[in-house]
Amino acid sequence: MGLLPPGTLPEAVIERPQKPEHGDYASSLPLKLARSAGMNPIQIARHIVDRLPAEETFEVSTAPPGFINFRLTNAWIRAQVQAILDAGETYGDLDLGQGERVQVEFVSGNPTGPLHVGHARGAVLGSTLANILSAAGYAVQREYYVNDAGTQIDIFYRSLHARYQQALGREAVMPENGYQGQYLVDLAGELTAKAGDRFLSLPPEEALSQLGEMGKEMMLASIKEDLERLGVKFDSWFSERSLYERGKFQDVLDILRQKGYLEEREGALWFVSSALGEDKDNVVVRSTGLPTYFASDIAYHYDKFVERDFSKVINIWGADHLGHVSRMKAAAGALGIDPSRLQIIIGQMVTLRRGGEIVRASKRTGDIVTLRELLDEVGADPCRYFFLSHSADSQMDFDLELAKKQSQENPVYYVQYAHARIASILRNAQERSISHLEGDAARLTDDSELALIRKMILLPELVESAARNLEPHYLPHYALDLATAFHWFYQQCRVITQEEELTKARLQLVRACQIVLAKTLKLMGMSAPEQM
């Protein structure tokens, strides 16, 4: 049209302005074009706006030094109330993933002891991320990798065998580097209560195997129970041992050997990571003939990608696994798997506080604070909210006293109280035989009403962003913002009034807000109480 000189156009990025007065969306495209076009950016903005087609969703304006601002019209905003009511529990669901098969593997704590606070953070992060991906249209499998092979499980068996003998009055020495926690003494006591002394009469290695297996299953049952209390369930509990029993470990070694990525040195078998850009090579089979943890992990990921055909695998690991990330991606590449299909999230450390005091150990045992103790003290919902409220890559403080407060100071209470208040309003309306079904949202004109709807309609956008970027930590902040917008509306506008049509319209708004708030809490794995 001759208004701008010919040339390559930069990408037109639409963003949300930080200040509401700048609209709901904005673009800085004119600023990017100004230099190449040799024109004033505000002039470019006006040229673009003048040529945009007229439509009912947005009001478009320009702002110095060269922004194009888009503000959703009040009519469109009001219409979203009915759209939310029509969608119901599916509001916020997307078809972004189009059924793509994704696995989220998280927690995967060794079955050699109880889960602790660090595991809890990974459990909440992984389960919420899986919820988000499911809502975004992915076919998600939630998996727990049971490390039931190798050195650590052997030490656990031997430690438990010693404690079992001690529980029955026999002298027994704990193995070097054995598990010393009180929980193992308790577990040995449970075993003696169930099995008596029958393992004492067996040959030592047979007793070790049978007793150890029984103890491992009891420990796994305890882990499952704790996770279910936290609202975490898995679709699959994958046994590391099965990789060896099914010959998958040897199959993977054969593949790597054929591709030239294995070398024997110093009596050990090495994965030649340096050929794939790593700083150093890594041992996969020790000189003793025992495979390393890394070797099992290679076979495990081959099973995920090749045997089970997941298009994407997301692992959530603790901070102590940071050094394992690059070599695991290198191993994927060596197997012919695009490393970008493997995404690894590292969860950082958690510091427990009781007010200003750091909690370093369990009151009961003097050992680490377990997930069970945390749940006993503060409950599942506060655990989930607070663990989610920080990005995985940031260290966090968990204030036990704040998590237990029944006041607006506690964001968990504040958010859930908003849902309970909505439920109370709707019960009150039902008792008066007032229905929102015939309400007309066009009557919603107060600034607090429109501000609440604007906050409600952000949920689908938030689900998409969290699914694309694997960042569920924005959910609790959104829930708090939504609850704040509702409480503000409630203070400004009486819902059940003498004016019947306005009452019905506001009941529509309240019911729609309940749908969005309940969906947000569900995505976070939290309860949406009807009363508090």
- Each of the 532 residues of the chain gets a pLDDT tens digit; together they read 456 666 667 777 888 888 877 888 888 888 888 777 777 888 887 888 888 887 788 888 888 888 888 888 999 999 999 999 999 999 999 999 999 999 999 999 999 999 999 999 999 999 999 999 999 999 999 999 999 999 999 999 999 999 999 999 999 999 989 998 899 999 999 999 999 999 999 998 999 999 999 999 999 999 999 999 999 999 999 999 999 999 999 999 999 999 999 999 999 999 999 999 888 999 999 999 999 999 999 999 999 999 999 999 999 999 989 989 999 999 999 999 999 999 999 999 999 999 888 988 666 666 788 999 999 999 999 999 999 999 999 999 999 999 999 999 999 999 999 999 999 999 999 999 998 888 899 999 999 999 999 999 999 999 999 999 999 999 999 999 999 999 999 999 999 999 999 999 999 999 999 999 999 999 999 999 999 8
The pLDDT score that the predictor gives to residue 229 is: 98
Domains, the chain: 14-72 (3.30.1360.70), 79-96+409-523 (1.10.730.10)
- DSSP letter for 370, please: B
Between the alpha carbon of residue 298 and those of residues 133, 245, 286, the distances in Å are: 25, 16, 15
Residues written for the chain: 532
Q: Which of 318, 299, 290 is nearest to 250 (CA)?
A: 299
The pLDDT score that the predictor gives to residue 6 is: 66
Q: Which residues pair with 15 in a beta bridge?
A: 26
Q: Rg of the chain's alpha carbons, rounded to an integer?
A: 29
The pLDDT score that the predictor gives to residue 55 is: 77
Count other Cβ atoms within 10 Å, centred on residue 23.
Answer: 20
DSSP 66-128: TEEEEEE-HHHHHHHHHHHHHHGGGTT---SSTT-EEEEE-----TTS--BHHHHHHHHHHHH
Cβ within 8 Å of residue 493, ≥6 positions away: 446, 448, 449, 506
The pLDDT score that the predictor gives to residue 128 is: 98
**Is there a contact between 70 and 29 (Cβ–Cβ < 8 Å)?**
no
Report d(CA 375, CA 231) in Å as an integer: 11
The pLDDT score that the predictor gives to residue 362 is: 66
Report d(CA 495, CA 355) in Å as an integer: 38
The pLDDT score that the predictor gives to residue 7 is: 62
Question: Is the omega angle on the peptide bond into residue 41 within 30 degrees of 0, that is, cis?
Answer: no
Report d(CA 259, CA 237) in Å as an integer: 31
Count other Cβ atoms within 10 Å, centred on residue 370.
Answer: 23
The pLDDT score that the predictor gives to residue 363 is: 61
Q: Which amino acid is at 184?
A: L
Q: Which residues pair with 14 in a beta bridge?
A: 27
Residue reference for tokens 């499998």: 141
The pLDDT score that the predictor gives to residue 199 is: 95
Helix (H), strand (E) at residue 205: helix 204-229
